[in-house]
Amino acid sequence: MSTTTARPVSAGSAPATVTRALVVTEARRMLRNPVPWACLALSVWALWTVRPEPGEWPGSSYESIVPAVTPLLFGISVAVAVPFHRARHDVAPAAPVPEVRRTLARLLAALPLVAMTVAYAVLVAWRERDLGGLWLGMEPGRTTEAFHTTAELSQLVVLALVAVALGAALGRRTSRLVALVPALFVLWFVVSVYWLFGMPSVTPFSVIQVQPVHLPAGTPATDPLSLPSDWLLVGSPHTTGGGWERQWVSAALAWWHDVWLLGIAALLLAVAWPRPGRRVLLAAGVVLAVAGVVGQQVVIP
């Protein structure tokens, strides 16, 4: 007669198993939510409507690519806000799963939504190459083969982390679920109006950063042929009489902006995080946000 010997269970295996089960359960609920899928379809549609057109303002198609992700970010925030709002209901103090572990499980469950944004960023890169490039500048300084850099495309993924953190923060702190959707819609709409943050002094503080940045290049009397040949020039409608501006694209600016966004995400997570560990998130968020802004200010000419 054979006997079986019970395997010893390590002290950390049970909590890990519980966390894994919570992550799977919450991930299924988020992925069953139709809002992020509908918003993904809307972002893909917006992406497909962007194409260079004769007579367009130089760079308008290039500028329209990044804001097209806004519906997807809104959908991610809504999908994350629902389970975090459900967490507002108190659990018995003697519950076997502590609040910190439940919060961590909900955040990990949102990773498939972030992966969705990674796939969208890859689609953006493919779409630009399928179009043969986008247009920047005007004669004599112009290109018809402009592509977003890896740094600019990485912003889409970091923005997904901000969307998760924003949904968690508002979901955890908003008393009424019915108020979440309008609040998230207004917030993402405002940050998607990219021309509000187009000035070099303001663009480091933007959420959705859209390049190129417009920098002064010359007065109306300046001969454009006397300017550096690698400058992407446009006639400026912003100065009296119309001067010259250069459309400036920088991968370094985009990387530092990612650091700024990570700081914003950490600060938002601190709002949703239980009291233990909140100070660490606040400190990390402040450090990253300050470093990101300073880095961008240094990079901008």
pLDDT one-digit tens code per residue, 209-261: 998 888 877 777 777 777 777 777 777 654 445 677 788 888 999 999 999 99
> For the chain, what is the radius of gyration of the CA atoms?
23
What pLDDT, on a 0 to 100 scale, did the predictor assign at position 124? 95
Q: How many CA atoms lie within 13 A of 112 on its CB side?
A: 18
Helices (H), the chain: 13-32, 34-48, 60-65, 70-86, 99-109, 111-131, 150-173, 180-192, 251-272, 278-299
Q: Which residues pair with 216 in a beta bridge?
A: 245
Q: Using an 8 Å Cβ cutoff, are 247 and 276 in contact?
A: no
**Which residue numbers in the chain have pLDDT < 50?**
1-12, 92, 94, 238-240
Q: How far is CA 38 from CA 31, 120, 281, in A?
A: 12, 14, 32
Strand order in the sheet with 243-248: 213-218, 243-248, 233-236
Q: Is 148 exposed, middle or buried (0-12, 13-18, 19+ CB in 10 A)?
A: buried
Please tell me what DSSP assigns to residue 195.
G
What pLDDT, on a 0 to 100 scale, did the predictor assign at position 14? 60
How far is the first Cα of the chain from the last one, in angstroms, to the nearest whole number?
A: 82
What pLDDT, on a 0 to 100 scale, did the predictor assign at position 11? 40
Angle at 226 between CA 224 and CA 231, to 5 degrees: 65
Question: pTM of this prediction?
Answer: 0.86
Q: Using an 8 Å Cβ cutoff, are 40 and 75 in contact?
A: yes
To 10 degrees, what angle do helices 180-192 and 70-86 make?
150
What pLDDT, on a 0 to 100 scale, did the predictor assign at position 237? 52
